[in-house]
Amino acid sequence: MRVTKSLALAGAGLLLATGLAFAQSSEIRVGAPLEPPALDPTAGAAEAIDVVVYQNVFEGLTRIDQNGAVQPGLASDWTISEDGRTYRFSLHDGVTFHDGTTFDAEDVKFTFERILAEDSVNAQKALYEAISAVTVIDPLTVEFTLSRPDGLFLFNIGRGDAVIVAPESAANNATDPIGTGPFAFVQWDRGSRVILEQYGPYWGEKPALTKATYVFIGDTATMTNALLAGDVDGTYNFAAEALPVFEGNPQFKILVGSTEGETILSTNNAKSPFDKLEVRQAMAHAINRQEIIDGATYGYGVPIGSHFAPHHPYYIDLTNTYPYDLDKARELLAEAGYPDGFSATLKLPPVNYARVSGQIIASEFAKVGIKLELINMEWAQWLEDVFANKDFDLTIISHVEPFDIGIYANPDYYFGYNNPEVQALNETLNATTDEAKRKELAQEMQTIIAKDAVNGFLFELAQTGVWNAKLEGMWQNAPVEGVVLRDVHWVE
Amino acid sequence: MWPDRPNAADLHLPPFGGGREGGTHLVTFYILRRIFGFLVTLLIAAAVIFLLLDLLPGDPARFILGINATPEAVAALRLQMGLNDPAIVRFGNWLFGMLRGDFGLSQTQKLPVAGLIADRMAVTLPLTLVAMVISVVIGLPFGILAARHRGKIVDTALMILAQTGVAIPNFWFGMLLTLLFAVTLRWLPPGGFTPWTEDAWASLRGLVLPSLALALPQAAILARVMRTALVDVSSQDFIRTARAKGMTFGEALWRHGVRNALLPVLTILGLQFAFLIAGTIIVENVFYLPGLGRLIFTAISERDLVLVRSATIILVLVVSFTMLMVDLAYGLVDPRIRERRA
Amino acid sequence: MTWRSLLKHPGLVIGLSATLFFALLALLSLIWTPYPIADISIARRFTTPGPEHWLGTDQLGRDMLSLIMSGTLTSFTVGAMAVLIGVGIGVPLGLAAAVYGGPVEWVVLRFSDLAFAFPAVVIAILIATLMGPGAGNAVIAIGIFNVPVFAQVARGGALAISTLDFVAAARLAGLSKPMIALRHLLPNIASLIIVQGTIQLSLGILAEAGLSYIGLGTQPPATSLGLMLRDAQSLFLIHPWLSLAPGLAIVVIVIALNIAGDGLRDALDPRLRNRGLANVAG
């Protein structure tokens, strides 16, 4: 059903007044590979939701910029107590939701109580569980009390999962999202597109665009045609294999940036033979990382040797821990008691990088006698089988959460890595606020994980956007999921 | 016995629809029996769909919340979605809901399924109709032309063309069409769909290329059917009589042959409609059209079981109903049958 | 059918030889391909056709000729298995409907309706989600579609024959209905079923291509012509050959099968020509 909202907004009138001549220079059509199932970013994990609404329709107290740094959002500034457990935020004045209601501290309290409620369906509830109380001091001041210090708190409240919603409209956000952002939701033609328009009374600096349309095109070939035909003005992450179509074409520009996606050959550490260190080391030696990067990402992926993003200041290069060496791999396999190798399954989710990397790894492993059976799965099935039930040998997946090395401290996590040393380090890291000390701890964790060859560390996913050459202001990197339109504008 | 009427198979209809029916004596009895059969088919189809979907692995709640969700959040969502009721209760609720016209609420989109399906039908139905119009406009004249010049070079050339038309995968053909007409010439949009209410002309333009892709094999089939039907009737008495009365072969073929050949052609059109309405999913993907096929496709991958089962049963309903109409029309229109009854 | 009568149908000869050529190429892939198809080497990808790789290499550096041989085998196998399902279930059903009539016929027809009413794509999606995608899926989905087709052909053919004298004679001689079906009807409709088989085989190959294109058919590391098309689709503007080669292979195979089917129909027993299936199709 098409959801239309009559917009009695200044923005809409402005659009009519400017007429067609200006329409081209203030409107954008963005191609997106996936259509969101709903539009409430606080009640679902789909990346496609954030792509449309994050920082466009909805805003949080803080906001993440394209380099992953925390910037003020609906909160103009904040103070943090000595013990790092109390955050007091001053809120912007004169902020309204798109339905005209006023934004104040009560909305903040409502938002976080909704996230933490018993029957909450927030996909990232765990990130906010350190919050023990949200207190309204006055309409423009709100105070958060944490049960423990949390180094990532300001980042986490800037994510799409913690955008501020209003009690009046929260229940309908899935189909009719109402936020405080610079763009208001207008219409959703299901299966086809979502239309946003500039919100006239927006509290902050007005964006250059008056109208944005997200067009959902799943097929790479079709997306290529749509770009070439000028049917869409750009897309934020285009399949690397087809990028040569646009290389050297002056009408387009290609933006290559970083993401938080560590792509790994996840290994079931709790299961034989992968519980043997030698077996995991042998696999690490048998992986030709560069071939996988060339084959699956056409050279755009960045090699990683542990579970950490290469653009992060805490990163250390561990890609040479187990260099590509087939003899060494065979030797280690023999030591582990598998001189002729073994057979295992490799379950692959429905994403191109996984499917292609899987084929290449199977071919590489065959050289040392490890025979992989490739099993392609849908997301729903992969989540159930691999992620929830841990019924797998190997899988390939990109972990896109920022700073997520903590998953290696959770023995119940799907890859079943249980190392008390890492667990202790992680606990210290979480409670540490000193930068230098944090860096040291994080690097120690990276090193142990790399040496233990917990998973096959392949590459950091790149973001490869293709845009009309006359567009400026798009995010190059993807520190969080989203296509933020705030600064996007046409130039002549 | 009713004469055999063409079936989907020997007409090279791809395996996405079609059916046929034979044999009984009294028309009214036949109609009643056929309608009863239609209802039984629907009921069994509903049971099959429900059973299959209930067996699907993958938790819809977990899919919606993704890999970082807490077990409590997943449990809360399951409860909200009504996934914990016994299967028989859910089946009953679904059936009785549908009888009241209530197709349920989509689990992922939070909207009434009936509305979602109606919106998609507003794309798939016109797409199907435009494709059929194109296939008739191309197929029938070619078929007549081939029959008119039977055995000559024109006939051979057209039938080779028809063979090729049937053999090209339609998604591949659609791709080639886009490259030519959308990317290179820029005459038509490469895909996408503007809602009818916004700009009907733009909506229609958006349907041209996908319709062409769908229509090519159908036109090829129609041309072959038309040609054979004409060749068949041209050897019959009334054509000979007409020619004896001084008409040229061409005139006789046009006046009498084409009219008589229309019956098998109409039947084929019915089958093609049934095939197209359910079989457009691949072409919808190539042209990113928001049609019914893609709705079902994404709904299954998102484990939106309410949406999948209602959309599927509606497709089954449309296809079965078309088959029913074809059968009934065939029985009532065919002059040979009326003779037989008399 | 003698060799001389065969020569009267040049279409049949051409169609059959082309089909045979591809079938042999496909079968050869079982024992030999120029390169193993799972042999991936990114360093040698996108090689243009040359002496080393006659048809070049694909995006993973695999030999295109080997892929096409193996892909043709998969496409043929999927199509053929689906035909076998159709014949195995459909023909007995059709014969039963013809010899018993009444309620048996009604049930068979309802079953046909049910199978027809389910769009093959939807069945394929459901099976794929139930059991994981794969060529097996495509076989079942296309096979289900084939069942009512063969049931109808068998029933139509059998009804046409059952009015003939020798069947009446057999009935008078006291042969049971199943025996009549087996001894007299089945042999006489065999050619009809073979013709329909070639047509369904060509449709099966096209359907497999479509299912693989949307990701529900054959899965890597195995390959099929449809899967090759899918893999090459996004590269079409850069490496059109990767898409043209499997695409043309599909077109040629399907045309060959259809011409062979038409030729067979023309060469058929004249008693059946205008009764069973050939009354309108060209």
Per CB-CB distance under 8 Å, the chain A contacts of B210 are: none
pLDDT, tens digit (0-9, with 9 covering 90-100), for C41-53: 888 899 889 888 9
Q: Where are the alpha helices (DSSP H) in B187-304?
A: 200-234, 237-244, 249-252, 258-279, 281-286, 292-301
pLDDT-wise least confident of B185-189, C60-64, C275-279:
C275-279
Question: What string of H, E and C letters represents the secondary structure of chain A?
Answer: CCEECCCCCHHHHHHHHHHHHHHHHHEEEEEECCCCCCCCCCCCCCHHHHHHHECCCECCCEEECCCCCEEECCEEEEEECCCCCEEEEEECCCCECCCCCECCHHHHHHHHHHHHCCCCCCCCHHHHCCEEEEEEEECCEEEEEECCCCCCHHHHCCCHHHCCCCCCCHHHCCCCCCCCCCEEEEEEECCCEEEEEECCCCCCCCCCCCEEEEEECCCHHHHHHHHHCCCCCEECCCCHHHHHHCCCCCCEEEEEEEEEEEEEEEECCCCCCCCCHHHHHHHHHHCCHHHHHHHHHCCCCEECCCCCCCCCCCCCCCCCCCCCCHHHHHHHHHHCCCCCCCEEEEEECCCHHHHHHHHHHHHHHHCCCCEEEEEECCHHHHHHHHHHCCCCCEEEEEECCCCCHHHHHCCCCCCCCCCHHHHHHHHHHHHCCCHHHHHHHHHHHHHHHHHCCCCEEEEEEEEEEEEECCEECCCCCECCCCCCCCCCEECC
Of residues A224, A362, A377, nearest to C237 (C-beta) = A224
Please tell me the distance from the alpha carbon of residue B62 to that of residue B69, in angstroms, as a whole number: 8
Q: In which band, very low, low, confident or very high, does the pLDDT at B334 lie, cut at 50, 70 and 90?
A: low
Please tell me the distance from the alpha carbon of residue C154 to that of residue C272, in angstroms, as a whole number: 12
In this structure, are residues A236 and A51 in contact, taking their beta carbons and an 8 Å threshold?
Answer: yes
Please tell me the distance from the alpha carbon of residue C155 to that of residue C175, in angstroms, as a whole number: 19
Q: Looking at chain C, which residue has its C-alpha nearest residue A247?
A: C238
Per CB-CB distance under 8 Å, the chain A contacts of B286 are: 219, 221-222
Q: Do A224 and C60 touch (CB under 8 A)?
A: no
- C3 CB-near residues (< 8 Å, 6+ apart): none
Of residues A221, A294, A355, nearest to C234 (C-beta) = A221
Q: How many CB pairs under 8 A join B and C?
A: 183
Q: Do B19 and C159 touch (CB under 8 A)?
A: no
Quick one: average pLDDT of C214-230? 88
The per-residue pLDDT for C276 is 40
Q: Which of A392, A123, A385, A349 has its CA nearest to residue B56?
A: A385
Q: Hey, CA dihedral for A354, A356, A359, A360, is it positive or negative?
A: negative
Q: Looking at chain A, which residue has its C-alpha nearest residue B56?
A: A381
Angle at which helix C64-100 crosses helix C102-117, to 10 degrees, equals 150
The per-residue pLDDT for A107 is 96
Q: In which band, very low, low, confident or very high, does the pLDDT at B89 lie, cut at 50, 70 and 90?
A: confident
Give me the DSSP letters along C228-280: HHHHHHTTTTT-HHHHHHHHHHHHHHHHHHHHHHHHHHHTS-HHHHTTSSTTT
In this structure, are residues A394 and A268 in contact, taking their beta carbons and an 8 Å threshold?
Answer: yes
Task: Report the percentage of chain C scoring pLDDT > 70.
Answer: 92
Q: Do B167 and C109 touch (CB under 8 A)?
A: no
Task: Report the percentage of chain B scoring pLDDT > 90.
Answer: 9
The per-residue pLDDT for A360 is 95
The per-residue pLDDT for C2 is 56
Residue C274 has pLDDT above 70, yes or no: no
Q: Where are the alpha helices (DSSP H) in B6-70?
A: 27-55, 60-65
Of residues A45, A174, A219, nearest to B288 (C-beta) = A219
Task: Give the pTM.
Answer: 0.84
Instruction: Check CB contact of A383 with chain C, cutoff 8 Å.
Output: no
Any idea which residue has 């909202």 for tokens?
Answer: A5
Quick one: average pLDDT of C253-271? 80
The per-residue pLDDT for C37 is 86
Residue B294 has pLDDT above 80, yes or no: yes
In this structure, are residues C265 and B181 in contact, taking their beta carbons and an 8 Å threshold?
Answer: no
Higher pLDDT, C149 or B3: C149
Tally of CB atoms within 10 A around A290: 16
Instruction: Check CB contact of C102 with chain B, cutoff 8 Å.
Output: no
pLDDT, tens digit (0-9, with 9 covering 90-100), for A351-393: 889 999 999 999 999 999 999 999 988 888 888 889 888 999 9
In this structure, are residues C186 and C170 in contact, taking their beta carbons and an 8 Å threshold?
Answer: no
- Residue A196: what are its φ and ψ, rounded to 5°? -120, 150
Q: Do B167 and C281 touch (CB under 8 A)?
A: no
pLDDT, tens digit (0-9, with 9 covering 90-100), for B42-88: 888 898 888 888 777 667 777 777 766 777 777 887 777 777 778 88
Angle at which helix C225-233 crosses helix C186-213, to 10 degrees, equals 20
State the burial class of residue A248 (Cβ atoms within 10 Å of its Cβ: 0-12, 13-18, 19+).
Answer: exposed
State the burial class of residue A407 (Cβ atoms within 10 Å of its Cβ: 0-12, 13-18, 19+).
Answer: middle
The per-residue pLDDT for C101 is 81
Higher pLDDT, B236 or C69: C69
In this structure, are residues B98 and B313 in contact, taking their beta carbons and an 8 Å threshold?
Answer: yes
Residue C206 has pLDDT above 60, yes or no: yes
Please tell me the distance from the alpha carbon of residue A128 to that of residue A156, in angstroms, as a whole number: 8
| Helix (H), strand (E) counts: chain B | 15, 0
- Residue A476: what are its φ and ψ, rounded to 5°? -90, -40
The per-residue pLDDT for B6 is 40
Please tell me the distance from the alpha carbon of residue B276 to that of residue A27, in angstroms, as a whole number: 36
Q: Do B320 and C200 touch (CB under 8 A)?
A: no
Q: Do A366 and C38 touch (CB under 8 A)?
A: yes
Per CB-CB distance under 8 Å, the chain A contacts of B78 are: none
The per-residue pLDDT for A6 is 39
Q: Do A220 and C39 touch (CB under 8 A)?
A: no
State which residues of chain A have pLDDT below 50. 1-23
Q: Do A376 and C40 touch (CB under 8 A)?
A: no
Q: In which band, very low, low, confident or very high, does the pLDDT at B209 lie, cut at 50, 70 and 90?
A: very high
Q: Give the pair of three-digit tokens for residue A268.
A: 């079931």
Q: Give the pair of three-digit tokens for residue B226.
A: 């038309």
**Hey, of A243, A291, A293, A363, which one would you mutate to test binding to chain C, going by the most C CBs within 10 A of its CB?**
A363
The per-residue pLDDT for B24 is 43
* Start-to-end C-alpha separation, chain A: 38
pLDDT, tens digit (0-9, with 9 covering 90-100), for B245-271: 777 767 776 767 676 777 777 777 887
The per-residue pLDDT for C84 is 96
Residue C1 has pLDDT above 60, yes or no: no
Please tell me the distance from the alpha carbon of residue B139 to that of residue B221, in angstroms, as a whole number: 7
Question: For chain B, what is the mean pLDDT?
Answer: 78
Residue B16 has pLDDT above 50, yes or no: no
| Cα of A188 to nearest chain B Cα, Å | 11
Please tell me the distance from the alpha carbon of residue A299 to that of residue A302, in angstroms, as a whole number: 8
Q: Nearest 10 degrees: CA dihedral of A44, A48, A49, A55?
A: 130
Higher pLDDT, A273 or B278: A273
Instruction: Check CB contact of C268 with chain A, cutoff 8 Å.
Output: no
The per-residue pLDDT for C134 is 80
Q: Looking at chain C, which residue has its C-alpha nearest residue B274?
A: C117
Task: Report the percentage of chain B scoring pLDDT > 70.
Answer: 82
* Alpha-carbon distances of A438 from A148, A336, A425, rounded to whole Å: 16, 36, 10
Instruction: Check CB contact of C113 with chain B, cutoff 8 Å.
Output: yes
Bridge partner residues of C57 (DSSP): C63
